[in-house]
A and B are shown apart, each in its own frame.
Chain A
Amino acid sequence: MNNYARPDFLVETDWVAAHLEDPQVRIVESDEDYLLYETGHIPGAVKIDWFTTLQHPVRRDFLSREDFEKLCSAQGIANDTTVVFYGDKNNWFACYAFWLFEYYGHRNLKIMNGGRAKWAAEGRPLVKEVPQYPSTHYHAQEPNEAIRAYRDEVMKHIRERRPLVDVRSPQEYSGELLHMPNYPQEGAQRGGHIPGAVNIPWSKAVREDGTFKPPEELRQLYESQGVRPDSEVIAYCRIGERSSHTWYVLKYLLGYSNVKNYDGSWTEWGNLVGAPIEKSVQ
């Protein structure tokens, strides 16, 4: 199918179409657009919303391990279920949900290449019926901190000159874009980027139809900027969703062994008192 480093973690739309009735497979839609699932979704797919479902209800953090277990159990996801994520915006939040499932130790995970847009463009069915599955007794693992970076680790990364990948747009990276006319950008008091970070926008990893570029192109994209397979890499964006996409590309499509997603991202760093910032524009 493809010659990515870990091809088992990526499936095409025809694979999904062939597994709609497979009881070992749970298809999950994760979108930025909160009501997109309600307009129609892949038959049998359940909805997991990044904001209302995957976040802690009070503090800035993810849902607890216990709540993750409840979520999976309620969606009929067992520990050995193969969970296939897809969504809007080139799978940003599909990758975000994938990353969080890995954080809590789920093993059988896949991304549907091209996401919701490709499925729809191929004229495949979208339905409004919300499926119900028998609940399970899901057991999550302790959080896997090897894939998550916190701000202190980012500071250390800066000092040790290890690779940081800013996957936002060049305008966000340069500090030019903090506000758009008439509407404040969410979150950050300051614009710019983390010192030493290279700018490789997430969008450079995908083709126009939203599918991932071939491995040789991806390899060139990252290695030409000094982000090498043997390095300890931290990716960040604004809130951690676009960097989940890059985390997935580096870890699963290119086989990088040590990649972390800094989910605090610019909404934390750009508000952090005293945090060093580089800007390309004044």
Chain B
Amino acid sequence: MPYRSQKKSIMDNKDYISVYFDDEDPMLQALRRLKENNLTIIDVLTPFPVHGIDKLLSVKRTRIPVGGFIFGALGGILAFWFMTWVFTVSYPLIIGGKPFFALPSFVPITFEMTVLFAGLSMAAGMFLRSKLKPDIRFKPADERITDNMFVIVIGSNANTTRESIRTVLSGISIIEIR
């Protein structure tokens, strides 16, 4: 099933049909029915993460954790290399007669930098991939989505109209179709 990321102000566009539900169970039921009928589902907007949606939309698992691992490893290596360079090359200092390359005492900072890099990169990854950015002109598709509305956005064409969707979804409790 094709799944495109949501475009800006899709609700204004005539090519889209939005089906509104006030509960996740009928919404999931409808999603299954639409999938059986091979209809193009553009997006599903929900007020909270509904489990089971990912599978129905065949959303691929995000690679954010992989990025986190890479950047975390990078941060750790960078911190460890830097401390080693400082104490063996840049300015070797005798501290309490201990060796210059004092491996155990480099561990805490290496760990902290690993966590810092991994955490920041994963958060940055989420913001970038989901295109989350501060925008005062942003208009939500519908203000009820963050409250209690579950919306399935379907791509429309000559065969897929509001009426045909209504027939496909007969028996499922729908609030409205736009």
A and B associate:
no
Binding site for A on B (CB under 8 A): none
